[in-house]
Amino acid sequence: MHEFLQQARDFLPILLQGAVVTLQVTVLSFLLSSVIGLGLALMRLSHVAPLRAGASSIINVIRGLPIIVQLFYIYFVLPEFNIQLTAFQAGVIGLGIAYSAYQAENFRAGIEAVDEGQREAAQAIGMRTPLLMRRVVLPQAFRIALPPYGNTLVMMLKDSSLVSTITVAELTRQGQLIASSTFQNMTVYTLVALLYLFMSLPLVWILKRLEWRMGAGRAR
pTM for this structure? 0.88
* Residue 218, pLDDT score: 52
Is there a contact between 136 and 118 (Cβ–Cβ < 8 Å)? yes
Cβ pair 202, 22 in contact under 8 A: no
User: Strand, helix or coil at 208?
Assistant: helix
Pick from 173, 38, 48, 163: nearest CA to 109: 38
**Candidate from 4-18, 72-86, 95-109, 135-149 with smallest mean pLDDT:** 135-149
pLDDT at 30 over 50: yes
The pLDDT of 115-142, averaged and rounded, is 79
Cα(151)–Cα(167) distance, rounded to whole angstroms? 26
Calculate what percentage of the chain has a pLDDT beyond 90: 65
User: What are the structural domains of the chain?
Assistant: 2-219 (1.10.3720.10)
* Cα(166)–Cα(164) distance, integer angstroms: 5
